[in-house]
Chain A
């Protein structure tokens, strides 16, 4: 609970006490409880300004050293290279001995420590004229961030670690290398994020960490794929997003709000985007074994990773689907069992696999695109229906958005005349406006959130 809400509650408790709603002892207990909550609250202002200060100092040191003071000899430069790191060591040990465990101390320290490593390695590179090897520089800096992440449990080094890994893997793939090491390296930080998520009063920090990790891993997925079998990315990406969506549903099904459940938001959003792309014909052209990629930058052994993911991710999604489905209460509509909308979204990798088989072996890209169009339109309708049933305007809007996207996307890419397009759009618009009006009235009558 934020401090403003606690202040409001304490004012209310004062009023309840005056009005005799609660006795003095209860009011005192409530005040004590919420005063403690305010005391434990993360001082965000101090953290942000402290981190900003650490960032500026770190960048200032980098700029100063980049000036290259050639009058300083190698021994002096060596000492300077170690100085920022020594400062961090002294600060950390002093903080430990004096019991400074506040986030306002550890967050800026984590940021400065991360920069200190980069400063040190860069200065050594400058002193000994190391060759241009941005890939090695990024990897060394990123790997040395691991203990900083665990020691400070701060957001900045974790974000820096994932950003560094993503940069390294991008450079590695661009140079024709294999970026599979990204995944074991990223897995090193997973226990930390999990343990921060279990910490009390660390909700905001852990959510930011999870967002950073999920976004970087989603981007890295596309980079690390070997892409030897054209079109396999569709199954891999729908599988990954479905697993994220269902993982979010299993892990934090009670979390409401898109920001607080990054897995569900990223999974749902990513799935909607990928499925939308798949309603067109172009992704289904020239895919399958007949178009196997063989060039100088192709590593045959690394394609094993693509195939493993194409199997493992849909299987994980299926497992999570069963797990999530067992947790939700059963709903019926006129004695017909109803599936929750996310369950239909969760089967996306299997629908994609069917469409892939049709396009790759049947050579029919139109049929695959049509199948995905109907599937995505069905998902839009199911989401809209669930939003109406549960009276959630946000879910209704998502359903409407998906349906509109399908109609606009398919209809604009068709060869129909502008007159026909115009008429259909007007009809669709009228239907949606009418539906919205009816839903608003029904919700008002039933006391919903319209």
Chain B
């Protein structure tokens, strides 16, 4: 192949590589600047990623499994609408395929969707009261268990701080709070708090002791 062509391919390739990485950064920067702040309760656990290093995995108190009235296809694009919870933190209010423009929502995908069944005893009332069913049958309730992917499930930390953060959370027996900025369906974690303070500061203090 001609050397000039190789150079053109290389330049196009470099442009594509810079664009993809630039776009990834730009979308998240826009979200962090313009997004609405949402706070979710979570429990930090400390695992490891070979490429990106240590992080705290976020086990959100919010359930990833949701009971819906309509059936979704696996892999379908859905929107988790964010609402206010009773404890002052945010919660997932509902799942929808078309959110209202004024709503705050996170774009995600359906991982699985299965129909809900109710167990019905076959037998007399006495047998049912005694709890000794010979046979049971299952009837669909018309509702579906929808499992969706959380678009934020990890918070990367310095390799020495991540285990300390987990220890701090376990010792104080308190869950963390993930501060997430949400903008146009994209959610980016801004910070992780423990006892109202950034988890990095808490972990640093523990490390100094």
Measuring CB to CB, which residues of chain A are less than 8 angstroms from any residue of chain B? 62, 65-70, 74, 78, 81-82, 85, 88-89, 92-93, 96, 101, 117-118, 120-132, 137, 140, 144, 146-148, 150-153, 176-177, 195, 296
**Which chain A positions have C-beta within 8 A of B29?**
74
- Choose one: B12, B51, B114, B200; the contact of A122 (CB below 8 Å): B51
State the Cβ distance, B168 to closest chain A Cβ, in Å: 16
Measuring CB to CB, which residues of chain B are less than 8 angstroms from any residue of chain A? 1, 3, 6-7, 9-10, 12-14, 16-18, 20-21, 24-25, 28-29, 49-55, 74-75, 112, 114, 149-159, 161, 188-189, 200
Tell me whether B53 and A67 are in contact (CB under 8 A).
Answer: yes
A66 and B49 contact, Cβ closer than 8 Å, known pairs A96-B7, A124-B25, A129-B156:
yes
A153–B3 CA distance with the chains assembled, in angstroms: 12
Tell me whether A131 and B156 are in contact (CB under 8 A).
Answer: no
- Choose one: B10, B20, B188; the contact of A151 (CB below 8 Å): B10
Tell me whether A128 and B21 are in contact (CB under 8 A).
Answer: no
State the Cβ distance, B161 to closest chain A Cβ, in Å: 7
State the Cβ distance, B46 to closest chain A Cβ, in Å: 12
State the Cβ distance, B113 to closest chain A Cβ, in Å: 9
State the Cβ distance, B7 to closest chain A Cβ, in Å: 5
Tell me whether A126 and B9 are in contact (CB under 8 A).
Answer: no
* Interchain residue pairs A-B with the least CB separation, the first 9: A147-B13, A66-B53, A151-B10, A122-B51, A129-B189, A126-B52, A128-B28, A126-B156, A70-B158
**Which chain B positions have C-beta within 8 A of A125?**
51-52, 156
State the Cβ distance, B187 to closest chain A Cβ, in Å: 9
A147 and B16 contact, Cβ closer than 8 Å, known pairs A124-B25, A129-B156:
yes
Tell me whether B52 and A131 are in contact (CB under 8 A).
Answer: no
A137–B52 CA distance with the chains assembled, in angstroms: 11
**Which chain B positions have C-beta within 8 A of A151?**
6-7, 9-10, 13
Interface centre among B25, B51, B157 (most CB of A within 10 A): B51
**Which chain A positions have C-beta within 8 A of B189?**
128-129
- Given A70-B161, A85-B17, 15 more contacts at CB 8 Å? A82-B21, A92-B10, A96-B6, A122-B51, A124-B24, A126-B52, A128-B24, A128-B189, A130-B154, A132-B153, A150-B9, A150-B13, A151-B9, A151-B13, A153-B1
User: Which residue of chain A has the shortest Cβ distance to B27 in the bound complex?
Assistant: A128
Interface centre among B49, B114, B155 (most CB of A within 10 A): B49
State the Cβ distance, A201 to closest chain B Cβ, in Å: 15
- Choose one: B1, B3, B9, B159; the contact of A68 (CB below 8 Å): B159
A85–B15 CA distance with the chains assembled, in angstroms: 11
State the Cβ distance, B155 to closest chain A Cβ, in Å: 5
Tell me whether B158 and A68 are in contact (CB under 8 A).
Answer: yes
**Which chain B positions have C-beta within 8 A of A195?**
1
Tell me whether B154 and A129 are in contact (CB under 8 A).
Answer: yes
State the Cβ distance, A174 to closest chain B Cβ, in Å: 13
State the Cβ distance, A175 to closest chain B Cβ, in Å: 8
Tell me whether B51 and A62 are in contact (CB under 8 A).
Answer: yes
Tell me whether B25 and A89 are in contact (CB under 8 A).
Answer: no
A177–B151 CA distance with the chains assembled, in angstroms: 19
Tell me whether B53 and A65 are in contact (CB under 8 A).
Answer: yes
Tell me whether B74 and A176 are in contact (CB under 8 A).
Answer: yes
A177–B112 CA distance with the chains assembled, in angstroms: 12
Tell me whether A68 and B153 are in contact (CB under 8 A).
Answer: no
A444–B174 CA distance with the chains assembled, in angstroms: 86
Tell me whether A131 and B21 are in contact (CB under 8 A).
Answer: no
